[in-house]
Structure 1
């Protein structure tokens, strides 16, 4: 991975992490295009630079972090399913992280679902999150272990299915990203260390650059997304996912066909 590739991947991460379009899916497609998707450092990079996007949530919602202890217990409850299924399915998830086809199919299916989300749950106005609701949101979030599903999309839709307003569901999803991404980063760093490969100075610089770029871009993306979501809902993201998924399938099979010829 070179510096330009790291910057492009970080920009993609910053834009897509909190949108319901799957940051992991977009990173897989981009890294596949660069020819580095199967590299162990690339897999580490795509996880670790999420720390920058986490920091953007902390900065934007700094005052909200001084909430009741009850709120943090609810976040913990929502986080538990990710820990359980993440450890259980770790190897299976790693294999999926190299598959553009899985990403494309997930994008398309998720796109059609997002076209209907506003009709199904768009009128909900509840702003109170119970422990049971938090657990259900956490279970929805686990669907995003399939590349292309979207962590934010799954958790937001999960919240709306429990009668939460779009804004409340989205903001809880942002907060839930913090323990989830921290946990994923620690796990990935541990797995990488077991390979017996040291991070070089160049790779360390790439990780620093990636986190800085991801942080700046995510700040802009979060503020823009909340404003748009409140006014317009999910349909545009649904259409985008379907178009992107179909385009990926066409490109993949077209390139494969040319290779065979």
Structure 2
């Protein structure tokens, strides 16, 4: 990868990680469009770059992480379902990650769902993500399992999951942000372990690419989170739904017209 490609991917990651539009899907499509060779480092980069976005949540909500240890255990409980399924079906998930068509289809399906979410769950009773119960946290974690399918969106799955538990859009989004930390950190550690176990090593240039990618992703994610909360609270999910449908449809039409995106 070139430095320009890394910056572009980092911007995409920072913009989409916490939005209900599937950051993984966007990374797969962007990598394919740019014709980036799927080397082991490239595949690792698309995961490790999430560390920068994790840091953005810690910076924006750092006071919340010293508020209650009970909240940490709720995050652990919420992370159990996806962690188990992720480990059991890691090879199958890796195969799905190689399909831009699958991403496009899930973008469209998820987009249609987001058009109606605000009407389906319009009577929230909880406006504080700290107030959720362990049962609610676990149920939200079960929804997160849907995100193992590329293009679904972890944020969309967990936010909608939170809304089914009568959380307001803002509270559901914030819990989704917090839940991303252990999940993304765990995924990065597992991916890094596999990378090193297979005998790969980082060159000095690759280390620089990782640093630049995470710094750019961190900065962009801070802006994206603040903007997203404002849009979500005021307008809901409909705009994100139409965006997903548009992007997914364009990709499907391009592939149907013979444009090959099967690069990863």
TM-score by length of structure 1 reads: 0.96
SS at match of 1:255: coil
Partner of 1:176: 179
Q: Does 1:243 align with 2:246?
A: yes
Root-mean-square deviation over aligned CA pairs:
1.1
Q: 1:56 — aligned with what?
A: 56
Q: Equivalences for 1:104-253 in 2 at 5 Å?
A: 104-127=104-127, 128-253=131-256
1:199, CA displacement in angstroms?
Answer: 1.2
Residues 82 and 138, structure 1, Cα contact 8 Å, conserved in 2: yes
1:56-95 paired onto structure 2 within 5 Å: 56-95=56-95
Q: Which runs of 4+ in 1 moved over 2 A?
A: 36-39
CA–CA distance in 1 between the matches of 2:41 and 2:142?
29
How far the C-alpha of 1:256 sits from its partner, in A, is 4.4
Deviation at 1:7, TM superposition (A): 0.5
Q: C-alpha offsets along residues 76-112 of structure 1, whole Å, 9 cap, x if unaligned? A: 1001112101101111111111111000000000000
Distance in 2 between residues matched to 1:217 and 1:208, nearest whole Å: 14
Q: Is the 8 A contact 1:140 1:158 kept in 2?
A: yes
How far does residue 37 in structure 1 lie from its aligned partner after superposition? 5.8
1:222 positional shift: 0.1
Question: CA 1:175 to 1:7, structure 2 compared with 1: closer, same or farther past 3 Å?
Answer: same
* Structure 2 length-normalised TM: 0.95
Unaligned runs of 5+ in 1: none
Matched residue count: 257
Distance in 2, matches of 1:61 and 1:180, equals 17
Contact 1:103–1:148 under 8 Å retained in 2: yes
Q: Distance in 1 between matches of 2:12 and 2:163?
A: 26
Distance 1:94 1:73 in 2: 29
Contact kept? 1:38, 1:98, Cα under 8 Å: no
Q: Distance in 1 between matches of 2:46 and 2:214?
A: 10
